[in-house]
Amino acid sequence: MTTIINVPPSLDDQSFEQIFAQVALLPPEEKILLDARRTRWASPFGFTALLSLAQTRLERPGLTVPEAEDTASYWSKASFFTYADSLYDISGRVPRRSKSENSVLLEVTPINGTEDVHTVVDNIQHRAQAILHEKLNLEASVTMRFTMVLSEICQNVIEHAGYGGWVSVHAYKFQQRLGRWVVVIAVCDAGMGFRKSLEQSQGARASDVWDDGKALEETVIKGATRFRDPGRGQGLAGVRKFTGKWDGMMSVRSGTARIAIVPEWGQGVPLGEGLPFFPGAQVQITIPERIGLP
């Protein structure tokens, strides 16, 4: 039996919760088919989370391609199908991948090792500089700091997931919520997640307050890691600092919880718990176009 999972028309970190909710009810061996025929748009989070989702299934899942040609074409340009092809049984017409759009700063890219982080950093610098400066009104020097943030989040996958992950970066106009351009980094994996990662060094905690939410607070806010090295934990701290300085939003979902740094323009709560379970960690950073001085 195959269970149909409906993909929302607009697929981002918020609407992806609908998919998590549907999948969390199913055993991993159950065959699923993600029906994206009516999907018109997907964010970097949507792309990377779809790929991570396929990696959690024991039975190779199916995926139907969006019917709207421009949508399917955009997914191709974002390199989504390049990797989805090896994880999903794809039905529907997949457009040939043509030259990438300017808004795609970084196509979907696998993160499996250190060399992948170097590739990501090398690939994004030139394109990021133009977009950050022209669309987001950020100084050229911000590009380096932005790339540092990207590097640290990617390394988080290698060091803590115990499993490969995916990264993608796009810029687009965030019309509904903000009316401004934003650049969005999404990094998703289906690995062990923050709670299990911390338990590797500190052991499982019997306390009833030890859960995914607490693990996220420890790591994202307090900089805890499973390593004894006192130099560890600076990466996410640096990401938080950069995000705050540029009025950005950062959210990290792991297991059944999501922690977020929410600016005035953002939506969401600082800590959401009791979410449908999904393994690994899913990180999103959103930096908005600057209006006036930071």
Total residue length of the chain: 294
SS3 of residue 137 by DSSP:
coil
Q: How far is the CB of 284 from other proteins (least distance, A)?
A: 19
Residues 143 to 182 in contact with other proteins, rule: CB under 8 A: 144-145, 147-148, 151-152, 155, 158-159
Which range of residues in 77-85, 178-186, 233-241, 280-288 is near other proteins by CB under 8 A? 233-241
- Given candidates 69, 85, 122, 134, which one binds other proteins under the rule CB under 8 A? 122
> At its nearest, how many Å lie between other proteins and the CB of residue 290?
17
Question: Whole-angstrom distance between the N-terminal and C-terminal Cα of the chain?
Answer: 54
Per the listing, tokens 């540029």 go with: 246
Stretch that binds other proteins, among 82-90, 94-102, 228-236, 262-270 (CB under 8 A): 228-236
Among 121, 130, 178, 271, binds other proteins (CB under 8 A): 121
Element (H, E) at 247: none
140 is a contact residue toward other proteins (CB under 8 A) = no
CB of residue 7 to other proteins, shortest distance in Å: 34
Among the listed residues 95, 110, 238, 276, the single contact to other proteins using CB under 8 A:
238
Query: Whose Cβ is closer to other proteins: residue 237's or residue 271's?
Result: 237
Q: Which of 235, 255, 279, 288 binds other proteins (CB under 8 A)?
A: 235
Q: Which letter does DSSP use for residue 103 in this model?
A: T
- Please say whether the beta carbons of 160 and 190 come within 8 A: no
44 neighbors 283 (Cβ within 8 angstroms): no
CB of 222: closest distance to other proteins in angstroms? 13
Distance, in Å, from the CA atom of 121 to the CA atom of 128, rounded to the nearest integer, reads: 10
CB contact at 8 A, 44 and 186: yes
Residue 201 — φ and ψ, nearest 5°?
-100, -30
Q: Is 244 in the site for other proteins (CB under 8 A)?
A: no
The secondary structure of the chain in percent helix, strand, coil, rounded to multiples of 5, reads 40, 25, 35
- Please state whether beta strands 10-11 and 165-174 pair in parallel, antiparallel, or not at all (unpaired): unpaired
Q: Which residues bind other proteins (CB under 8 A)?
A: 114-115, 117-118, 121-122, 125, 141, 144-145, 147-148, 151-152, 155, 158-159, 230-232, 234-235, 237-238
